[in-house]
Structures are given as C-alpha cells and as structure tokens.
Structure 1
Amino acid sequence: MTFVDLTVFILYLIGIVLFGSSFYKKNKTASAFTLGNNNIPSWVITMSIFATFVSSISYLALPGQAYMSNWNAFAFSLSIPIASLMAIKFFVPLYRKVNSPSAYTYLEQRFGPWAKSYASIMYLLTQLMRAGTILFLLALPLHVLLDWNITAIIVVTGFSVMIYSLLGGIQAVVWTDAIQAIILIVGALVCGFIIMFSMPEGPNQILEIATQGNKFSLGSFKVGLTSSTFWVVLIYGLFINLQNYGIDQNYIQRYMTSGSEKEAKRSALWGGLLYVPVSAMFLFIGTALFSYYQSGAGILPAGIEGDKVFPYFIVNQLPVGLTGLLIASIFAAGMSTVSTSLNSSATVILTDFCKLPEDDSRTAKRSMKILYLSSFIFSVLSIIIAVAMINVQSALDAWWKLASIFSGGMLGLFLLGYFAPKVKSKGAIIGVVAGVLMIGWMSLTPYIFTSDSLKVYASPFHNYLSIVFGTVAILIIGFCVGTVIPSSTRKRE
C-alpha cells in the first residue's frame, strides 16, 4: 500500500472509533445502551439491519465464489424477500408486544426458563465463534497481501470495535453500521465500474467472456437434495433468514430500538431487501474479475484464486487512494458485524442472566457495569478465538459446527411456540432434542463415517439442508408429542 492508501485506511479506522465513542454522553442508562431510548431514525435502523446481513465474509466470499463458479449463491438472496414479509407480518408485532430487549423472553413465556436459557447460551456461543471467525478472516487477506502481522491486525481491529461499542452502546453500533454500510456499497460500486472500464474491448467484453464460461448460471434446477442446486440454496436461505428475522438477537434488538411498530416493520423490510441488489453487485464483481483476467487485462500470480482474487485486485490494480477506500470498506463490513454481536451479546447477558431488582436505586449503575464488563469480556474472548484460528483452524472448525448444531434448534423452538399454542414445555423439549440430533447427524456424520463400510450411516443430503430438516423435525415431533401428552394427562385424571 502507498502512503496515501495507508493514510485513508488509518483515518477511517480512527474516525469510526471517535464517532462511535462520541455517543458516550447519551449512553448513561441500560435502556440507552440496549435500545437507544427508542429514538433512533428508521433509515439508520434500516442500514444497520442491512449491515448485519453483510460481513467481511460476504464481501470476499461472494466475489470469490462467482469468480470460481457461478451465481448459485444468489438463490440465497432471493429468499430474503419472503423472510422479510414474514418478519413484518409475524415477528415484528410479536416482539414489540413482548417489549423486552432480549429475543428470548418470548421463549421463557411460552415454555419456561429452560427455553430462554438454552436459546441464550447457544446464541452467545454462536456469536463468539462468529465474531472470532470474522476477525480472523478480516485479518487474513491483509496479512497475505500486505505482509502485516496477522495477530496485530486482529488485536487492533478487535479493540477498536470494542472501544466504540462499549462507550457508545447500541446508538454507536447502529450509526456506525449505517456509515459503514454506505462505505462498503460505494466501495463496491467504484470497484465494479473500474473493472468494467478497464476491459481491453470495453464493458461488453465482461458479458461475452462470462456468458461463454456460463458464469451467470444460478445453478442446476433439477430436483434433488444431495447437491447445491438452485432449490437447495433457496430453501436453505429461507430457513436461515427466518432464523435471522425470527430468533436472532441482532435483528430483534433493532425492532425494539425503533420508535414505533410501523418504523420497525419498514426497517426490517428494506434492510433485508437492500441486501438483494448489493449481493448481486458482489457476485458481478467476481464475474467481472473472471472476465478481466481471462481477457489478459491483468495477470494473477500462482496461488491467488477464490477469495484472494478480489483483495489482490484491490491492492494491485486500483488507483492510489481507492485501494485504501476499498480495504476500509472490507473492514467496514467486518467491524459492523462484530460490533453488532458485541452489543447484542451484552444485552442478552444483562436481560437473561442478571435479574436485578427494579426498586433498588443501585440497579441502574449495576446494569451499566454488567453491560460494560460483558462487552469487554466478549471482545477479549473473540480476539482470543481469532488468534487461535491462526494455528488451530481445524479444531475450531469442529467447534463452529457444534455451535451451529445447537443454534439450529432455536428456529424450530420459536416456530413451535408461535404456530402450535397448545404445545407445552415437555413437547418442546423432546422436539428440540430430536431436531438437534437430526442436525448433528446431517452435519457431522459425513466427516465421522468416512470409510466405505460406514458411509451407509452418513447423511446423503447436502449439509445446507441440516437446518431445514432439523427445524421440521422439531415442529413435527414437538407438535405430535405436545398434543399426545396433554390428552394422556387428561385420561389419567
């Protein structure tokens, strides 16, 4: 990087930290820290929900996937409008009625304390792994391409996010999310235009080369459950986005920060819909890069492929100054996701695990201490996980899969509570156990039963479908058991 690029990047990092920290004076109560006193503009919440969808993984992985294969991943984005409509129809009104900063208070009301504790713990573990993974992936391309110390990148980025998230609370998170979302969109647009007008024969050459390579394909439309077809990715995206909108604290907390239910619905709808064209733009960048290097406009060194192609282009092909902007936009995507996880996790810890008496004058100060301490501990742990990934990625990949297995049961539990009002705690417990076992079988057995004699016991289905099958298992078994248990109880009486 040139001095100008480095200056742009450092100024961005310092500016975000200072701007987020400036909300400290407005962040003196637990309500301000977790809900922003319900007076945050709806457009800011909209951009924050969009930024929650996008991470540094999306920023690098989508172009990388389009470069290596096709637009199959866009089927995931096409499921978002369906999930968005369900959110404004069912989820937003429900959580606004419950009126709790925590997404899991509703589960406690339906099934008892165990449901809230199960969902809260699984959420916290999943967010820890998510934040650690993103910090690691954020640092990896800079380490590979610029030879910066990867541990130093992780630590600096992690503590930068911690400072403004801790000091500014949810207001700092959503406002910096909004700014970072704008930066990443502008950065991607600039990069897309530069690639288009760098082609030897003009922008149309991108379409010609990409069409010849079948790069715009959405995947196979055949009906099947064993490969990543269009339908498999679409169904997977629907269930994942229902989980995001319906049970993920990151999203539910934003419903509650809005000033009214109408504003919350608007933000939920447009925050999700905005991701659809932006994800298409990321995929187009990957396709354009394929055409760019195929045309001979640039040369890729050996070993640069997949997720590394876009960062390589940013560092080596962009004009001075724009490289710094694009790297800042990659960091914007990652930092917004980590800050969201940090604030939401602190909120869950206070609301679900620290019951403080409302009539005690010391409760307000104690609440803020818990929020600050939780934010600090979560930040440190996520940094430790990210650093550990440098050398022990395989072990942490296994743990990430385990965390995904348990979190996969949360959507089914929520849907069971919402759509089967007669099902009580016992039916829900048995349903969740069955669903988690199903997800575990589909996720882990292909890696456990690898020998020819044992492959018959492994799941033949694509691993995208684990959350689908697991959620359906919770709904069916929980409903059946939940309706049998009450009837048998009445007969005994």
Structure 2
Amino acid sequence: MSTIDWIVLFGTLGLIASYGVYKTFGQKSLDSYLRGKNTMNWWTIGLSIMATQASAITFLSTPGQAYESGMGFIQFYFGLPIAMIIISVSFIPIYYKLKVYTAYEYLENRFDLKTRTLAALLFIIQRGLAAGITIYAPAIILSTLLGWNLTWTVIFIGAVVIIYTVSGGTEAVSITQKQQMTVMMGGMILAGMIVIQLLPVSFQEALHVAGKMDKLNLVSFEFDPADRYNVWSGMTAAVFLFLSYFGADQSQVQRYLSGQTLAQSRMGLIMNGFLKVPMQFIILFIGVMVFVFYQFFQPPVVFNQVQTEKLAQSRFAGEYAELEERFSRNFQENKNNYLEMLEAIKHEDIAKEQEIKSRIQGLKEEQQTIRSEVKELILKNDPVAETRDTDYVFMRFVMDHLPKGIVGLLFAVIFSAAMSSSASELNSLGSTSTIDLYKRSIKKEASDKHYLNSSKIFTAFWGMGAILFAIYASLFENLIQAVNLLGSLFYGTILGIFMVGFFMKWIRGKAVFLAALLSQALILLVHFRNGEGLFGFVWDIGFLWYNALGCLSVMLFGMIIQKFVKN
C-alpha cells in the first residue's frame, strides 16, 4: 500500500478508538458500565446492533460468496424483519420490566438458578469461540494481503478492542460502533461506485452479463433441507436463528438494554430489521460487479497472491507458468464471447445468446479445471497451504485496482468491522460472566466497585482468550458460514428455553433444564452424523435448520418431561 493508504488506515482506526476512550473514560458504576446509563437513542442502538452483526467476515466473505455463487445468500436475511417484530413485542418489554443487566437473569426469575446458569454457559461457550473466529477471520486475510505476521495482526486487533472496551464498557462499544458503521458503509458504497465506473461496459450491459451467468438470482423457491440458502430456510429456520441471536444472545441484548426507553430500544431493533437486508444486498451486489469486472480484465488464477508467488519460486514454477498461459488464453476467448453476447442481446437474438452462453459455460468449466490444477500444485509445494481463496477476492481487487487512499479506507472498513463485532462480544462475555456466574454463584455480596472491576477483568480475560484462540485457530471452509454454524449449534437450545419461559407457563425449571440438555445433545448428534445418519436412518440438512430443531425440541421435551416430574 502507499503512504497515504497507511495514513488513512491507522488514522481512521486511531481516531475511532481514541474517541471511544475519551467519551467514556472512568465509568464510575456497574450500571453505567453495563447499560451505558440508558442514554442511547434509537438510531445509535440500531447502528450498534447492525455493527455487532456486521463483522469483518461480512465484508471479506460476502462479496467473494457473490462472486462465486451469486446473490442467493440474501435469502438468509428474509426472515429478519419478522424476528425483529416478534422480539420487540415479546422479549424487550419483559427485559425492561425486570430491569435486567443480562437476558439470562430473566430465566432465574421464571425457572431457577440452574436453568439460568445453563443458558449463560451455553452462551459463553459459543460466543467465546465466536470471538476468536471474529478476530482470526480478518487477521489471516489481512496479514496475507499486507504481508504482516499473522500472530501480530491478531494481537493488534485484539489489543485495540480490549483497550477501549475495558475502558468504557457498553457506552464505549456503542459510541465507537456508530463511527465504525459510518466508515464501513461509506467505504463499501464508495467501493461499489468505483467498481461500476471501472467497468469497460455500461451498467445495463454489466447487469446483462451478471444475469446471464445466474449471479442475480435472488430467490429460490425449491425446497431442499440440505440447501443452506433458499426462501424456505430464510423464512423459517433463519427466523429461529435471528430470534435467538437478537433476543437471547447477550452481545445483542446488551445493545438495546442501553436504550433511553422501551420505545427507543424497539425502534433501534426495527431499524436493524429493515436496513440489514438492503445493506447485505449492496455488499453482495458489489461482489457481483467485481465478477463482471473480471470477465473483461484478467483475474488472478488464484486470488491468494502469497501462495502463487511461492509457487512461482518453487520447483513447480514451469508447470505453473504453463497453467497461467492456458488460463490467459481461456480468459481472452471468454472475454470475446461476452462481447459477442452483448451484441446478441442488443439485437435481441435469443438463439445466439443461448449458443454463446453454452460456449461460456464450457470455458468456465475449463477455467475451474485450471484453477484446481494450480491449487493442486500449491498443495504439493506446501501441504498445509490454504487453497480456498473466495475470501480473498474482494480485497485482492481493492489492492490491485482501486486508487490510493481508497485502498487504505477499505482496509479500515475491514479492521473497523473486526473491532466492532469483537467489542460487543467481549463486552457481553464480561457482563454475563460477572452478573450470571460470579455475582450470582461465586461472590454474592460485594461492593458495586468490586463488581465493576470484576467485569473489566472478565472482559480483558475473554479478550486475551479470543486472541489465543485466534492465534491457534485454522481457517474454515468459508468464514461467514463458520460463524453461522457455530451459532446454530447452540442458539436453538437457548431460544427454546426462552420460548418455554415466555409462552409455556405450565412448564417449570426442572423440566426445561432436562429438556435443554437433551436438546443440546440431539443437535450435536444431528450435526456430527449429518450426511451419514445412524441406525440405518440417514439425514442431510443445512445447519440453519439446527436452530428450529433445537428450539422446538426443547419445547417438546419440556412438555413431555413436565408430565413426569414435580417442581
């Protein structure tokens, strides 16, 4: 990167973090530290909620996912507005009425201590692991692109987050997220505008190319339980995930518990529900436009440039050069076909369009074969090398084709996203550890200052734990799917406990506790035997359905067990 890019990158990050520390330094009470003195207005809450969910993984993986598979991932968010309305009506009023610090306090009031503790522990397990992925995911990509040491990149991201989160608590997280969200969306929209300007064809022609290559297929009505993203999973299974994430995950609950009033919190949540879908549409659409760009400007054979540079210096350099030459010829032929297709579209020659599309599909298959052969060489040269490079597509494009200053801004977007999500996670882990475990079961009587300090210590502890996890983690198949999978393994059970609490008043503590344990065991069994089955019964379902299965099984098991136990 150029000097101006480094200035933009570190200047942006430094100003945001410093502003958060300055505005919230020296929190004096546990209430102000955990609930931000209930001073947040609805739009700050809405931006904070969006920033918590919009991690660096969103901005790294989502454009690459659209580049590879099109915009079908948008269906994952179709059920979000429904979930936000349900939470606003059912969840938030109860939290405000009880004046809770964490969502899990309600569970002791409704059931008993062991149920509260179980839900808090399930949250801590999955969110603690997710915090490590949230830091690791951008760190491995950024360290590769910038040539930094991975360990030091992880430590840099984690340390900055720990400093301002420990210093100012919930208020610092919300204030910095407002600035970070501005940088994130401003940077992405600017990048999208530049991508469109760089295209050698008109915007309308770009849409034709994307459409003919099936990149603009937003909706799939085909019901397939194994398909992660279609209308049915988005409007059913994903609703359960969102209900649990926004209604029972402390990293989100803590965002709207800081609202001035119940109405402000509701408005912030509804704002997130209706702006998140357009935001994801924009990010996915940018990925599609990058795809179109690379149909007219030759892309790298593999977007992870570090691996191809190593290959070019290895004993496989000759084979790699031959494959690059084949790839270059393939690209040129493909480019000519696209130009010919645009002429056919212009003259409304449908038969010619179909003929050219068939040729392009054949060339695409050959292109994928060449890529696979290059990746095989990469693995021969380095058996532990990461060959899945979808997550490198967007930032590789940024570094190669965007003007100076904008490159630094886009890297600031990724770092800001990493810090915003990590801060919320650490803040919520510190709160839950203090309120639901330490204060409730370990040290029940102590001063407000003692619990304030313990919350800061727990926040720092989880921050250092996330850094250690990130240092020793390994890259998942796709970063954004990794986080959704991790949440889906636990969210269904947690949501089921809350749904029983809200809507099944006759079920008591012992029954729901046993039901939750059975449900969690069921979900883990379903996941680890998915695609293989057990006792001759085989199943293959997308992980989003784990959320519905976990929730409904807690409710079902709870009804059955309640008939045989007494509370």
| TM-score past 0.5 threshold | yes
Structure 2 CA distance, aligned partners of 1:470 and 1:146? 41
**Is the 1:95–1:252 contact (alpha carbons within 8 Å) kept by the matching residues of 2?**
no
Paired residue for 2:17?
17
Residue 307 in structure 1 maps to residue 391 in structure 2? yes
Residue 320 in structure 1 maps to residue 320 in structure 2? no
Structure 1 CA distance, aligned partners of 2:550 and 2:24? 42
Report the secondary structure of 2:257's partner residue.
helix
Paired residue for 1:353?
437
Residue 468 in structure 1 maps to residue 548 in structure 2? yes
Report the secondary structure of 1:143's partner residue.
helix
**Is the 1:96–1:255 contact (alpha carbons within 8 Å) kept by the matching residues of 2?**
no
Cα RMSD, aligned residues only = 2.6
Paired residue for 2:559?
479
Structure 2 CA distance, aligned partners of 1:458 and 1:215? 32
Report the secondary structure of 2:162's partner residue.
helix
Paired residue for 2:188?
188
**Is the 1:53–1:272 contact (alpha carbons within 8 Å) kept by the matching residues of 2?**
no
**Is the 1:29–1:368 contact (alpha carbons within 8 Å) kept by the matching residues of 2?**
yes
Paired residue for 2:335?
none
Structure 1 CA distance, aligned partners of 2:110 and 2:135? 36
> Residues 393 and 290 of structure 1: is their aligned pair in 2 closer, same or farther, counting only changes over 3 Å?
closer
Cα offsets for 1:34-67 (capped at 9, x unmatched): 0111112322111101111211111122111111
Paired residue for 1:134?
134
- Partner amino acid for 1:387? I
**Is the 1:441–1:459 contact (alpha carbons within 8 Å) kept by the matching residues of 2?**
no
Residue 382 in structure 1 maps to residue 466 in structure 2? yes
Structure 1 CA distance, aligned partners of 2:99 and 2:517? 29
**Is the 1:125–1:403 contact (alpha carbons within 8 Å) kept by the matching residues of 2?**
no
Q: How far is 1:420 from its partner?
A: 0.1
> Residues 398 and 160 of structure 1: is their aligned pair in 2 closer, same or farther, counting only changes over 3 Å?
closer
Choose the corresponding residue for 1:446, options 516, 521, 530: 530
**Larger deviation, residues 4-13 vs 397-406:** 397-406
Q: How far is 1:364 from its partner?
A: 2.2
Cα offsets for 1:374-431 (capped at 9, x unmatched): 111111100000001159999xx99997885344310111101111001012321232
> Residues 42 and 398 of structure 1: is their aligned pair in 2 closer, same or farther, counting only changes over 3 Å?
closer
Structure 2 CA distance, aligned partners of 1:273 and 1:132? 29
**Counterparts of residues 30-429 of structure 1 (less than 5 Å):** 30-218=30-218, 220-228=220-228, 229-296=230-297, 298-304=298-304, 305-355=389-439, 363-390=447-474, 405-429=489-513
**Is the 1:49–1:272 contact (alpha carbons within 8 Å) kept by the matching residues of 2?**
no
Q: How far is 1:236 from its partner?
A: 2.6
Structure 1 CA distance, aligned partners of 2:99 and 2:195? 48
Q: How far is 1:248 from its partner?
A: 0.9
- Partner amino acid for 1:293? Y
> Residues 463 and 402 of structure 1: is their aligned pair in 2 closer, same or farther, counting only changes over 3 Å?
closer
Report the secondary structure of 2:76's partner residue.
helix
Structure 1 CA distance, aligned partners of 2:68 and 2:159? 34
Structure 2 CA distance, aligned partners of 1:222 and 1:130? 31
Structure 1, gaps ≥5 residues long: none
> Residues 393 and 294 of structure 1: is their aligned pair in 2 closer, same or farther, counting only changes over 3 Å?
closer
Structure 1 CA distance, aligned partners of 2:39 and 2:476? 44
Q: How far is 1:205 from its partner?
A: 2.5
- Partner amino acid for 2:183? I
Structure 2 CA distance, aligned partners of 1:473 and 1:392? 28
- Partner amino acid for 1:248? D
Structure 1 CA distance, aligned partners of 2:193 and 2:108? 50
> Residues 348 and 439 of structure 1: is their aligned pair in 2 closer, same or farther, counting only changes over 3 Å?
same
Residue 436 in structure 1 maps to residue 520 in structure 2? yes
Q: How far is 1:436 from its partner?
A: 1.4
Structure 1 CA distance, aligned partners of 2:285 and 2:193? 11
Structure 1 CA distance, aligned partners of 2:476 and 2:265? 41
Cα offsets for 1:242-301 (capped at 9, x unmatched): 1122211122222221111111111111023221110000110111111110123x5324
**Is the 1:23–1:167 contact (alpha carbons within 8 Å) kept by the matching residues of 2?**
no
Report the secondary structure of 2:222's partner residue.
coil
**Is the 1:445–1:457 contact (alpha carbons within 8 Å) kept by the matching residues of 2?**
no
> Residues 393 and 205 of structure 1: is their aligned pair in 2 closer, same or farther, counting only changes over 3 Å?
closer
**Is the 1:60–1:310 contact (alpha carbons within 8 Å) kept by the matching residues of 2?**
yes
> Residues 118 and 403 of structure 1: is their aligned pair in 2 closer, same or farther, counting only changes over 3 Å?
farther
Q: How far is 1:208 from its partner?
A: 1.0
Structure 1 CA distance, aligned partners of 2:475 and 2:201? 45
Q: How far is 1:122 from its partner?
A: 1.5
**Is the 2:303–2:396 contact (alpha carbons within 8 Å) kept by the matching residues of 1?**
no
> Residues 392 and 250 of structure 1: is their aligned pair in 2 closer, same or farther, counting only changes over 3 Å?
closer
| TM-score (ref. length: structure 1) | 0.91
Q: How far is 1:232 from its partner?
A: 2.1
Q: How far is 1:464 from its partner?
A: 2.3
Report the secondary structure of 2:224's partner residue.
coil
Q: How far is 1:338 from its partner?
A: 0.3
Structure 2, gaps ≥5 residues long: 305-388
Structure 1 CA distance, aligned partners of 2:303 and 2:202? 28
Q: How far is 1:224 from its partner?
A: 3.0
- Partner amino acid for 2:555? L
Structure 1 CA distance, aligned partners of 2:550 and 2:428? 25
